[in-house]
């Protein structure tokens, strides 16, 4: 049997413990020896509370029981995001984790909807999306089997990120991960190869490994500071550079969606957990001071705040590469895109998956390193384009931020997607990448971008047949919706945390 690979993970938090738990569960002790180094004295960002459906796949792959995890992390369900004030005045739209109708005679549903959009019988596009209507009416039920009426959506979670990291730590340690407490004071590198040989702790202890995974957050202690890998800023496309986080009392409705509310200098999030509401204001510091942002956020809360405001400074972008020498950066150490579409935890998860799929021996062949960097770069760039889309299509005129974003020069990859949709409603399906066509459709149409022409092939479907299919799908979605319980009732019966008195 080949010699075991030793991997040292530097940093805990969500990124560190997701990495440790995944490697311990999927690579096993026969392949890897795992140690995680973290210091209780060094805090984590720890405000990420909203996720996307890939997180369920991650938990399932690790064998994590959903009810137990949801109770421990005070989690609620998430079916999408409501965007308020991003498009035409006084409007909102849902970006759902589900499809808008089913294809009609081989034609995309939205193409047929556009044919009859001006008919009195045709409802807004969102009405044909079961997940969006579940959000609007605060309903929840598990998806059905493929082919069932209610198989057209997926779900994610809102949870306490600090509790999730703690939950994964227990899972990882049960599977053999060794945790070492201590602050790193020195990173020792090989004089010939430049690889990291060991990290030295304040106590004098030395931890050596074949690979070092940098989960040290924005500091990027190994990849950025020690190995000198530069940072590629995307601030010219994503100009917000601050966030104020401030939790408040719980929302008893426990709606199954995150809310993103556009404001003059940025946007505000609202995330319902079982024991609290996560709130935050993402903004451009050139337009608003930290104190002004905190005051603005405090005024908008629907319940008393439960903690003092916390300021998070960031610059959207990524490291020039995520794997250099024998160091792999995961999470904030590799890059950050801002929390608009809850991509941070997904980008951690995808980096772990790519590393596992390419898991080398004790030394990594350069082609594997290049392939990892190519895959991770693609994930970041496609997530970046989707987030920029929201800003670029905004319909606001109440600050320089929004006017700038509307007129700025955007990446060519995004420009091509917008123009393809504008011309005839075409949306490319990524082979690799996070967001599927229904996500792009929801944002583009939700923010007022309508195609100039309909796909020619869609018009070949007989009109009466297409209209009947629209009516039938609408009725079926409404019938399915009416059979569902409220989100709060579902959570109360399925995964209510054991000590709800702590939340009052």
- Considering the domain boundaries, does residue 19 fall inside one? yes
Find the mean pLDDT for residues 475-482: 92
Phi, psi of 433 (to 5 degrees): 140, 160
Which of 17, 119, 376 shows the shortest CA–CA distance to 368?
376
Do 286 and 220 belong to one domain?
no
> For 175, how many CA atoms within 13 A lie in the half-sphere containing its CB?
27
Residue 179, Cβ neighbours under 10 Å: how many? Answer: 17
pLDDT, residue 43, reads 56
- Considering the domain boundaries, does residue 388 fall inside one? no
- Final residue of a structural domain among 343, 359, 381: 381
Do 354 and 416 belong to one domain?
no
Do 326 and 290 belong to one domain?
no
Which of 234, 152, 183, 211 shows the shortest CA–CA distance to 41?
183
Do 415 and 504 belong to one domain?
yes
Tally of domains within the chain: 2
Do 502 and 422 belong to one domain?
yes
Do 117 and 166 belong to one domain?
no
- pLDDT tens track for 62-83: 999 999 999 999 999 999 999 9
- Considering the domain boundaries, does residue 353 fall inside one? yes
Which of 413, 361, 366, 369 shows the shortest CA–CA distance to 389?
413
Q: How far is the C-alpha of 294 from the C-alpha of 242, rounded, in Å?
A: 11
pLDDT, residue 148, reads 66
Both tokens of residue 93? 């739209």
- Considering the domain boundaries, does residue 398 fall inside one? no
- Considering the domain boundaries, does residue 67 fall inside one? no
- pLDDT tens track for 406-455: 999 999 999 999 999 999 999 988 776 689 999 999 999 999 999 999 98
- Final residue of a structural domain among 381, 402, 430: 381
- Considering the domain boundaries, does residue 402 fall inside one? no
Do 140 and 249 belong to one domain?
yes
Q: What is the pTM of this model?
A: 0.94
- With cut-offs at 50, 70 and 90, classify the pLDDT of residue 31: confident
Do 337 and 309 belong to one domain?
no
Could you tell me the CATH number of the domain that includes residue 309?
3.50.50.60
* Three-class DSSP category at 114: helix
Count the helices and strands in the chain (H runs, E runs).
15, 23
Do 83 and 114 belong to one domain?
yes
Both tokens of residue 356? 């596992």
Do 180 and 273 belong to one domain?
no
Do 130 and 141 belong to one domain?
yes
Structural domain boundaries enclosing 427: 79-157+242-313+411-504
- pLDDT tens track for 127-141: 999 999 999 999 999
- Final residue of a structural domain among 381, 403, 432: 381
- Considering the domain boundaries, does residue 389 fall inside one? no
Do 25 and 168 belong to one domain?
yes
| Distances from the Cα of 15 to the Cα of 23, 51, 169, 176, 190, angstroms | 12, 14, 11, 18, 26
pLDDT, residue 360, reads 82
Cross-strand pairs, 181: 38
Residue 117, Cβ neighbours under 10 Å: how many? Answer: 14
pLDDT, residue 26, reads 85
- Considering the domain boundaries, does residue 503 fall inside one? yes
């Amino acid at each position: 049997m080949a010699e075991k690979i030793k991997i040292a993970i530097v940093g805990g938090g969500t990124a560190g413990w997701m990495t440790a738990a995944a490697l311990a569960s999927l690579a096993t002790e026969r392949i890897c020896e795992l140690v995680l180094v973290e210091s209780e004295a060094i805090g984590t960002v720890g405000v990420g509370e909203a996720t996307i459906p890939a997180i369920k796949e991650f938990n399932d792959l690790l064998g994590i029981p959903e009810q137990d995890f949801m109770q421990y992390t005070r989690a609620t369900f998430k079916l999408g995001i409501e965007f308020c004030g991003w498009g035409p005045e006084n409007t909102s739209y849902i970006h759902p984790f589900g499809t808008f109708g089913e294809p009609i005679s081989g034609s995309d549903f939205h193409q047929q909807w556009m044919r009859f959009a001006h008919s009195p019988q045709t409802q807004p596009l969102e009405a044909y999306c079961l997940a969006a209507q579940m959000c609007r009416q605060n309903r929840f039920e598990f998806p059905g089997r493929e082919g069932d009426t209610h198989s057209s959506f997926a779900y994610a979670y809102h949870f306490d990120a600090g509790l999730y990291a703690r939950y994964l730590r227990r899972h990882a340690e049960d599977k053999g991960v060794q945790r070492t407490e201590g602050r790193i004071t020195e990173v020792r590198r090989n004089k010939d190869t430049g690889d990291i040989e060991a990290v030295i702790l304040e106590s004098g202890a030395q931890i050596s490994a074949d690979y070092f995974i940098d989960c040290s957050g924005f500091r990027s202690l190994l990849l950025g500071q020690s190995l000198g890998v530069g940072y590629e800023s995307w601030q010219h496309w994503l100009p917000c550079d601050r966030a104020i986080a401030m939790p408040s009392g719980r929302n008893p409705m426990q709606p199954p969606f995150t809310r993103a509310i556009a404001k003059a200098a940025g946007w505000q999030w609202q995330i319902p957990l079982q024991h609290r509401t996560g709130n935050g204001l993402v903004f451009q510091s050139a337009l608003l001071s930290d104190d002004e942002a905190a005051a603005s956020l405090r005024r908008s809360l629907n319940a008393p705040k439960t903690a003092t405001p916390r300021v998070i400074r960031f610059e959207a972008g990524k490291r020039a590469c995520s794997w250099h020498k024998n160091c792999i950066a995961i999470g904030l150490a590799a890059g950050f895109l801002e929390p608009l579409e809850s991509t941070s935890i997904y980008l951690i998860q995808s980096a772990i998956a790519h590393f596992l799929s390419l898991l080398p021996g004790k030394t990594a062949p350069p082609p594997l390193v290049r392939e990892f960097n190519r895959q991770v770069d693609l994930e970041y760039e496609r997530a970046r384009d989707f987030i920029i889309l929201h800003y670029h299509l905004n319909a606001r005129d109440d600050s320089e931020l929004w006017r700038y974003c509307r007129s700025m020069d955007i990446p060519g990859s995004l420009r091509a997607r917008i123009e393809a949709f504008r011309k005839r409603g075409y949306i490319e399906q990524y082979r690799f990448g996070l967001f599927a066509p229904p996500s792009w459709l929801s944002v583009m149409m939700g923010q007022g971008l309508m195609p100039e022409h309909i796909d020619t092939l869609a018009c070949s479907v007989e009109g009466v047949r297409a209209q009947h299919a629209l009516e039938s799908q609408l009725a079926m979605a409404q019938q399915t919706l009416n059979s569902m319980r409220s989100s709060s009732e579902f959570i109360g019966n399925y995964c209510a945390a054991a000590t709800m008195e702590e939340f009052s």
